[in-house]
Chains A and B, each alone.
Chain A
Amino acid sequence: MNNIAFNVALPLLTAFLLPIISSGSKSATRFVGPFVLLAMLWFALAYFNVLQHPVAIALGGFLPPLGISFHLDNLSLLMAALIPLMMLLLWPYNNREGFREESLLLLLAGAASGLALSGDLFNIYVFYELLSVASFGLAAANRTAAAFAATFRYVIISGLGTVLALTGIALIYTQTGTLNLAHIGLLASQLNNPVGLSAFALIVIGIGVKAEIFPVNGWVPEVYSTASPRISALLAGLISKLAVLVIIRLLVVAYQGSQALTLLLVLGMLGIIWGELSAWHSKDLKRMFSFSSIGQLGMVLVAFSIPGDAGMAAGIAMMLHHLVVKPGMFLLTENWNGPIKKLKGAATSSPLAAFLFMLFALSMIGVPPLPGFWAKLLLVTGLVEANAPLYIIALVVLLTATVIEAHYLMSTALKIFSRGKKKHFKKLLQTPFNLTIATIFGAVLLAALFTLTPLGNKLNQIATESSDRSLYIKTTLSLKLPPQVKQQVSKVQ
């Protein structure tokens, strides 16, 4: 089990060595990355298959809570497997210039894996920072003036975010005297007070910068419309989910009170409203998709704010769905980035892309029997089951937002499918590379459609497991506790 550490160590190692390799041979630079990612994928999947029940590993052999521990359960391993997968799909195979983007991507992969696996609050913070810095670099990689400006604003806002998050961590440490999530969970009773809750609020808003939580997502439209679509796809699809994952871990382990949930619910609702409305108003695909991804993450947040397994299942379903759909859509924006009214005849110039767009759009609106519908169904039933006025409002918001979503997506789709002038067709042609990747995403969506039943069962299993607080704590602290901590823990309780 210790070998899962490779998922963090290997990409970092490769990234460190990449400059040297590149001075050696350019071709090696291009291909070492994918190999490492494959290795990561292999590790993750291997454990994903053998894993019976959650496992914790102590890094450096120092038992938690003293040392840092990785927490391996279905959810974290799933994420750990998805990270290299997405990276492989969105890898810049056709990048001719230098090694920097590759190494940044590898660092991103390492950081993401660490974030997904880590069970220690401060360690999460470190990996989160690594993630951020790498994504800054990637966001600026386009080297246009606008990209620099957007990235700068991104850096500032997320820098502030980390300050808040760090403050929150400090508060938690001052309150409990420990950093290990499981240990914090053990002492959760001390956090169920204004101090602890405000620490949670600070962390949510801090980490929320990456999770595109309203209102700290001002960077989203700017960065996504200046960065290259691959990067946007990565940020919107993968990175935001990891940030959400952190919040969820914290929520499940330490903050099961209703107040924390209310905060998430309200933020999520505002996110939905703002995102969808702005998307409705936007006049080009890139910004439309960035706004709509804000809305989608709002939905994810709302889903997670439903107490119990139902919320967890719905949230994970929404997360995975968005993870598949949104990158596919962003990939299509590379050559369709003009104003929407110029998209006439796009379908005739590249029909496959148009079909994919339609597929993604329908699934996003939640048209049965596409997977998006089932995710939305889980969300709706969950909200109704939660049966509190605020949740009913959330339901109304959700449904209204869906209508707005349908309007702007369909008006775009009808533009795409309407007849256009011959002379524009060449401009609207999709690059085969992007098209292939997008097709893969579409294929995944359809495959999910045909394996709904097993997926649903697996989903429920994951949800029940990862929403089980005591299980998490037991898993980590079942490693032999050092005596002092034992008696301190007992003293605390």
Chain B
Amino acid sequence: MRNISALVFASGLAFLLLVITWQFILGGAPMLIGEAILQQAAEELGAANLVTSVVLGYRGIDTLGEIAILFTASTATSLVLSSIAEKTSAKSKPGLRDDGTILASSASLFFPLLMTIGLYIILHGHLTPGGGFQGGVILAAAFFLPLLAVPGRGVNHSGLALVEGFAGASFIVIGIIALFQGKAFLQPLFGHGEMGSLLSAGSLPLLYIAVGLKVGAELSGLLANLAEPSGNGDETLSATESASTEQTSMQAEKTKS
């Protein structure tokens, strides 16, 4: 019954949405601000990659919000996954099972490679396609690959926390410095430099580095959290354990009420 009604309404929704979109002309949408940005972005920001200038310049606060969301997500995830006691510190279990030498060694082989690519993409974010997010994801992959290859290997959470904290902070601090210079929040600092060169587009590269590190740290933290639920490996064991913690928590709140 529910499915039928769902399908009926969904088809109705689809029809209506199509009716709406049919009134659009493909590629004919008015792009008022788009045009304007294309016109003046280059001399305003001096970044070859106009998307970057939008991401970090015109809509910089969006980017701030978005890394904040990543941070929030990882915090919430660790809040959800951690049991009552703080036990997210790194630990490596004895007798973890080894999934074969090839996998392990190739993983450790890939690590530097991925790191370099990621950093490159981050650093050239304002010149070429790509940027902080893309690079950050690759960095995360670099960190996560060994974890997949050798499950149960601990991740240095406190280190990650340090990185993500400082990266995010630096992004904001750069914005605030602008404030203290009497400019607006997140206004680009320094001169434009010579367009197309590595050291150009003012403080955008710095921002992108911050973003990249942040994203990398966040993602790897997230993945690690998911991979090692409530900070310790074995499933059923953890089930009983976390369950018992649920137990206690429930009891606690019962007694409270």
Task: Give the B-binding residues of A (Cβ under 8 A).
Answer: 2-3, 5-6, 8-9, 12-13, 15-20, 23, 57-62, 65-68, 97-98, 100-101, 103-104, 107, 110-111, 114, 122-123, 126-127, 129-130, 133-134, 136-137, 140-145, 148, 167, 171, 173-180, 183, 194-195, 198, 334-335, 337-338, 427, 482, 484-485, 488-489, 492
Q: Size range of the interface on B?
A: 35 or more
Task: Name which residue of chain B comes closest to A62, CB basis.
Answer: B58
Contacts of B172 in A (CB 8 A): 9, 12-13, 16
Distance A390 CA – B256 CA, assembled complex (angstroms): 48
Given the known A-B contacts A61-B187, A66-B37, A492-B32, are A19 and B165 also in contact in the complex, defined by CB atoms under 8 Å? Answer: yes
Q: Is the CB of A144 within 8 A of B249?
A: yes
Output the residue of A59, A62, A100, A198 with the most chain B CB within 10 A. A62
Comparing B1-9, B68-76, B123-131, the segment that makes contact with chain A is B68-76
Task: Name which residue of chain A comes closest to B250, CB basis.
Answer: A144
Nearest CB on A from B31, distance (A): 5
Task: Name which residue of chain A comes closest to B160, CB basis.
Answer: A19
Distance A133 CA – B29 CA, assembled complex (angstroms): 32
What are the 4 tightest A-B residue pairs by CB atom distance, in nearest-first order? A137-B76, A5-B185, A177-B30, A16-B168
Q: For the complex, is B23 an interface residue (Cβ under 8 Å from A)?
A: yes
Contacts of B256 in A (CB 8 A): 334-335
Q: Is the CB of A104 within 8 A of B59?
A: no
Given the known A-B contacts A111-B68, A141-B79, A144-B246, are A178 and B165 also in contact in the complex, defined by CB atoms under 8 Å? Answer: no
Q: Is the CB of B60 within 8 A of A171?
A: no
Q: Is the CB of B249 within 8 A of A143?
A: yes
Contacts of B188 in A (CB 8 A): 60
Q: Is the CB of B246 within 8 A of A484?
A: no
Distance A123 CA – B257 CA, assembled complex (angstroms): 42
Distance A68 CA – B44 CA, assembled complex (angstroms): 15
Q: For the complex, is B149 an interface residue (Cβ under 8 Å from A)?
A: no
Contacts of A177 in B (CB 8 A): 29-34
Q: Is the CB of A60 within 8 A of B69?
A: no
Q: Is the CB of B72 within 8 A of A107?
A: yes
Q: For the complex, is B173 an interface residue (Cβ under 8 Å from A)?
A: yes
Q: For the complex, is B42 an interface residue (Cβ under 8 Å from A)?
A: no
Q: Is the CB of A97 within 8 A of B86?
A: yes
Q: Is the CB of B185 within 8 A of A133?
A: no
Nearest CB on A from B94, distance (A): 26
Q: Is the CB of A143 within 8 A of B65?
A: no
Nearest CB on B from A158, distance (A): 13
Q: Is the CB of A16 within 8 A of B80?
A: no
A selection of 17 A-B contacts at a CB cut-off of 8 Å is A5-B184, A8-B61, A15-B75, A60-B186, A60-B187, A62-B44, A68-B61, A98-B82, A100-B75, A126-B61, A126-B62, A126-B69, A129-B69, A195-B23, A335-B256, A484-B36, A485-B36
Output the residue of A6, A68, A338 with the most chain B CB within 10 A. A68
Q: Is the CB of B62 within 8 A of A123?
A: yes
Distance A140 CA – B81 CA, assembled complex (angstroms): 10
Distance A58 CA – B185 CA, assembled complex (angstroms): 9
Q: Is the CB of A65 within 8 A of B68?
A: no
Task: Name which residue of chain B comes closest to A64, CB basis.
Answer: B33
Q: For the complex, is B20 an interface residue (Cβ under 8 Å from A)?
A: yes
Q: For the complex, is B183 an interface residue (Cβ under 8 Å from A)?
A: yes
Distance A143 CA – B86 CA, assembled complex (angstroms): 13
Distance A18 CA – B169 CA, assembled complex (angstroms): 10
Q: For the complex, is B78 an interface residue (Cβ under 8 Å from A)?
A: yes
Output the residue of A19, A129, A338 with the most chain B CB within 10 A. A19
Given the known A-B contacts A61-B184, A134-B72, are A195 and B165 also in contact in the complex, defined by CB atoms under 8 Å? Answer: no
Interface string of B167-196 (1 = CB under 8 A from A): 011001101101100011111100000000
Nearest CB on A from B73, distance (A): 6
Nearest CB on A from B47, distance (A): 13
Distance A61 CA – B75 CA, assembled complex (angstroms): 32
Task: Name which residue of chain B comes closest to A155, CB basis.
Answer: B76
Distance A145 CA – B60 CA, assembled complex (angstroms): 39
Of A58, A97, A180, A195, which is within 8 A of B84 by CB?
A: A97
Distance A12 CA – B165 CA, assembled complex (angstroms): 10
Q: Which residues 17-65 in B have Cβ within 8 Å of A in the complex?
A: 17, 19-20, 23-24, 29-37, 39-40, 44, 57-62, 64-65
Nearest CB on A from B172, distance (A): 4
Q: Is the CB of B179 within 8 A of A3?
A: yes
Contacts of B16 in A (CB 8 A): 198
Contacts of A130 in B (CB 8 A): 65, 68-69, 72
Q: Is the CB of A123 within 8 A of B40?
A: no
Q: Is the CB of A122 within 8 A of B59?
A: yes
Q: Is the CB of B246 within 8 A of A145?
A: yes
Nearest CB on B from A190, distance (A): 8
Nearest CB on A from B169, distance (A): 5
Given the known A-B contacts A12-B172, A15-B71, are A98 and B86 also in contact in the complex, defined by CB atoms under 8 Å? Answer: yes
Q: For the complex, is B162 an interface residue (Cβ under 8 Å from A)?
A: yes
Nearest CB on B from A415, distance (A): 17
Output the residue of A8, A60, A148, A171 with the most chain B CB within 10 A. A60
Output the residue of B34, B66, B79, B176 with the most chain A CB within 10 A. B79
Q: Is the CB of A16 within 8 A of B169?
A: yes
